[in-house]
Chain A
Amino acid sequence: MFKYIAKRIAYSILILLGVSMIIYFLIRLMPVDFIQDKINAINQGGATVSEETVNAMYEMYGLGDNSFSGILSGYFTWLGALAQFDLGTSFVYGIPVAQVIVEHMGISFAIALIATIFEFMIAIPLGITAATHQYSFRDYVVTVLVMIGISLPSFFFGQMLKSVFALKLGWFPVSGLVDATASYTGIQLLWDYARHCFIPILTIVILSVGARMRMTRANMLEVLNSDYIRTARAKGLKEKVVINKHAFRNTLIPLVTSMAGLLPSLFSGAIITEQVFDLPGIGNIALDAMNRGDIPFIMGYNMFLAMLSVLGVLLADLMYGIVDPRVKLE
């Protein structure tokens, strides 16, 4: 068991090394004078990028030396910094990238977590009824809903919801996380957050629930057609027990595994949704950083995301070993 986990972690680190190589290669593709241009633009925009920060970045990435050994030593310097979770200093914010990420990932995580909870709560029962009533009217409705959900572009759908519920009907605030004109505290502040986050969460849920529903349905169908379900029926179990106990426990395996795999990615931020509703989440910050040429931040953000997804794969694997008795962690 421990041997397996250790092996998996070592493998994850190997994957991360591969990812880091690609990201480093990408930054080396950027011409140095272009970076200088970007810094000048930021300086003109009001912020001041200190000489120190710029030099620190050059040093960290080993820029400027384009010989093979220069690139190689630059990579290892950067990797060394990465190993200490040092992602460099942001141009725009003037503080370490890691700090910017930590400060803004909370709101992204909160929104994503609530959305994911709703997603599973809606998708699992609907997916199961669609499977147990295959070819029925509700199965058909679920299938069409699934297709629409996976086909809608998030930015378009988000703007539609915004246009209808915030602008036309005026039920919800248009954008942002808090009402800037009022200073709420306690329960009122929480209520204000909830009102601001309602449409973004609704957008994420509607767009992601389809795929999850499809996954649940396909899984349930596969389970329902298996021999052991026939055995359970032949034992004399009532249909309800057959589905809720025997079939559901088997459908749960992929669901729980995917949930574990999803957990780290909740911190990564929904770029589009956050942009549409102007939420100060990590995704929106990253987009803004890109537009303003905050190169250390984009690099750090990408590395952060890669770490999250490697962690997700790792967690899913371990979870699989825990929930499925057939899989032994060895």
Chain B
Amino acid sequence: MDELNNVQAEPEVVDTEVPLDKNVRLMSPTRMVVRRFFRSKLSILGLIMVISLFLFSFVGPLIYTEWGEIELDESGKTEYAISETTYTVGGQEYTVRQTTEKYLKDNFLAPASAEHLLGTDNEGYDIFVRLMYGGRISLTVSFIAVFLITILGVILGGIAGYFGGWIDNLIMRVCDVLMCLPGVPILLIISTILDASDIDAKYRIYLLMIYLTFISWTGTARLVRGQILSLREQEYMVAAEAMGYSTSRKIFKHLIPNVMPQLIVQMSLSLGSMILYEATLSYLNLGVKAPYAAWGSMINIISTNQDILQNHLNVWVPAGVCIVIAVLGFNFVGDGLRDALDPKARR
């Protein structure tokens, strides 16, 4: 960050060799960005949402250890089925009400209680605990994906923008092709391929998201390339060229710090969309598979039984709320960062 500030500050400093006035108050750009970020209530809200979800998902399971992710509540459950039969004997109607008691091994669809904070799902897993583990998967997978996308995008976009010519042409044409690939449908194919190769249910989502990064780096690459192309035209880059700076110095000291602000914004916004992607995949039963928990698959439970959709809101609504909080949080933070880093292009 410090590097970046110095570079940005340079042009201003040049003509302020003589301190203007004792009253002039200057602030470092980082401080200005931080301050502008925290002045927006939405950014603070977003940050709180993201941090609390992190604590919930990663610290939560360490503190609340009553149940495990794939631990069934086998305390048993007695289900009563009431059946009525009406007989007509000699013009007189008789109703016989019969109650059958059925004992089942798993305590499924239990309501919220002290024992199960949000109740149990249709199998008998504790929903509250599974929310925490689902968050772990969601956040981890999204961070990995965004990290990989950024690295790939920066490298390929950087190469394209810096070297230009046929390399640029090639990389940009590949971008065009990848951008025409359909998102979820292509993952349907990849998921089928994963089915064929017997991957452990636990690692399936990671592989899927890595595939996803291969087709998702195009946005970042374009951003980096565009920035570099426009920066190359700037006077200070021409000056660096004239001073005979080495390529690596030009890239690391001048180009990268200038792309950073936009990259950070892009990263935090794509974290939101990656979480959405992961949830969608899990919802479609392509991502995290049973018995492991994911927010998306916790909502998918309703497709097995409409009774749950209507009468057991505790089973699926909390997972949806978690997804919304996560995505909204990252979007708020990203938007706040964008405003803070570039006050001219507000919202």
Q: Which residues of A contact B (CB under 8 A)?
A: 14-16, 18-19, 22-23, 26-27, 29-31, 34, 143-144, 147-148, 150-156, 159-160, 162-163, 167-168, 174, 217-218, 268, 271-272, 275, 286-287, 290-291, 293, 295, 298-299, 301-302, 305-306, 309-310, 313
- Docked complex Cα distance between A192 and B285 (Å): 31
18 contacting pairs across A/B (C-beta < 8 A): A15-B173, A15-B177, A23-B189, A151-B324, A151-B327, A151-B328, A154-B280, A155-B280, A156-B324, A159-B320, A271-B184, A275-B284, A299-B189, A302-B182, A302-B185, A302-B189, A306-B181, A313-B176
Those 6 A-B pairs whose CB atoms lie nearest each other, nearest first: A18-B177, A156-B320, A34-B196, A305-B182, A151-B327, A151-B328
- Docked complex Cα distance between A260 and B278 (Å): 30
Contact B188 A287 (CB under 8 A): yes
Contact of A153 among B181, B189, B317, B327 (CB under 8 A): B327
Contact A148 B328 (CB under 8 A): yes
Contact B323 A168 (CB under 8 A): no
Contact B332 A147 (CB under 8 A): yes
With a cutoff of 8 Å between Cβ atoms, the chain B residues found around residue A148 in the complex are 328
Select from chain A the residue with minimum beta-carbon distance to B320. A156
- Docked complex Cα distance between A287 and B306 (Å): 20
Q: How far is the CB of B308 from chain A (nearest CB, A)?
A: 10
With a cutoff of 8 Å between Cβ atoms, the chain A residues found around residue B197 in the complex are 31
Known contacts A155-B280, A159-B309; is A15 also within 8 Å of B192 by CB?
A: no
Is B7 in the interface zone, CB < 8 Å from A? no
With a cutoff of 8 Å between Cβ atoms, the chain A residues found around residue B196 in the complex are 30-31, 34
Contact of B331 among A18, A151, A268, A313 (CB under 8 A): A151
- Docked complex Cα distance between A132 and B192 (Å): 50
Fill in one digit per residue for B165-198: 1 if any A CB lies within 8 Å of its CB, else 0: 0000000011011011110111011111101110
Q: How many residues of B contact A (CB 8 A)?
A: 47
Contact B188 A155 (CB under 8 A): no
Contact of B299 among A18, A26, A156 (CB under 8 A): A156
With a cutoff of 8 Å between Cβ atoms, the chain B residues found around residue A306 in the complex are 180-182
Select from chain A the residue with minimum beta-carbon distance to B329. A151
Contact of A155 among B182, B283, B347 (CB under 8 A): B283
Other than the given A155-B280, A302-B185, 11 more pairs (CB < 8 A) read A23-B186, A34-B195, A153-B296, A153-B327, A168-B310, A268-B182, A275-B284, A298-B189, A298-B192, A302-B188, A306-B182
Contact of B188 among A144, A162, A290, A310 (CB under 8 A): A290
With a cutoff of 8 Å between Cβ atoms, the chain A residues found around residue B191 in the complex are 290
Contact B276 A287 (CB under 8 A): no
Contact of A159 among B181, B299, B324 (CB under 8 A): B299
Is B316 in the interface zone, CB < 8 Å from A? yes
Q: How far is the CB of B175 from chain A (nearest CB, A)?
A: 10
Contact of B174 among A18, A147, A275 (CB under 8 A): A18
Is B121 in the interface zone, CB < 8 Å from A? no
With a cutoff of 8 Å between Cβ atoms, the chain B residues found around residue A159 in the complex are 299, 302, 309, 316, 320
Contact A286 B188 (CB under 8 A): yes
With a cutoff of 8 Å between Cβ atoms, the chain A residues found around residue B331 in the complex are 147, 150-151
Known contacts A22-B181, A26-B189; is A143 also within 8 Å of B309 by CB?
A: no
Contact B309 A167 (CB under 8 A): yes
Contact A152 B324 (CB under 8 A): yes
With a cutoff of 8 Å between Cβ atoms, the chain B residues found around residue A160 in the complex are 317, 320
- Docked complex Cα distance between A196 and B128 (Å): 35
- Docked complex Cα distance between A174 and B176 (Å): 40
Fill in one digit per residue for B306-320: 1 if any A CB lies within 8 Å of its CB, else 0: 100110010011011
Select from chain B the residue with minimum beta-carbon distance to A175. B306
- Docked complex Cα distance between A174 and B310 (Å): 11
Contact A29 B193 (CB under 8 A): yes
Select from chain A the residue with minimum beta-carbon distance to B326. A151
With a cutoff of 8 Å between Cβ atoms, the chain A residues found around residue B180 in the complex are 15-16, 19, 306, 309-310, 313
With a cutoff of 8 Å between Cβ atoms, the chain A residues found around residue B347 in the complex are 143, 217-218
- Docked complex Cα distance between A227 and B313 (Å): 54
- Docked complex Cα distance between A129 and B130 (Å): 44
Select from chain A the residue with minimum beta-carbon distance to B174. A18
- Docked complex Cα distance between A147 and B42 (Å): 10
Contact B320 A153 (CB under 8 A): yes
Is B335 in the interface zone, CB < 8 Å from A? yes
Contact A153 B310 (CB under 8 A): no
Contact B310 A163 (CB under 8 A): yes
With a cutoff of 8 Å between Cβ atoms, the chain A residues found around residue B181 in the complex are 19, 22, 302, 306
With a cutoff of 8 Å between Cβ atoms, the chain A residues found around residue B118 in the complex are none
Contact of A287 among B284, B319, B332 (CB under 8 A): B284
Contact of B186 among A31, A287, A291, A302 (CB under 8 A): A302
Among B185, B193, B309, which residue has the most Cβ atoms of chain A within 10 A?
B185
- Docked complex Cα distance between A23 and B299 (Å): 31
Is B279 in the interface zone, CB < 8 Å from A? yes
Select from chain B the residue with minimum beta-carbon distance to A144. B42
Known contacts A151-B328, A286-B185; is A163 also within 8 Å of B309 by CB?
A: yes
- Docked complex Cα distance between A295 and B319 (Å): 32
Q: How far is the CB of B239 from chain A (nearest CB, A)?
A: 30
Select from chain A the residue with minimum beta-carbon distance to B186. A302
Contact B327 A298 (CB under 8 A): no
Contact of A271 among B185, B285, B306, B319 (CB under 8 A): B185
Select from chain B the residue with minimum beta-carbon distance to A21. B177
Q: How far is the CB of B332 from chain A (nearest CB, A)?
A: 7
With a cutoff of 8 Å between Cβ atoms, the chain B residues found around residue A152 in the complex are 324, 327
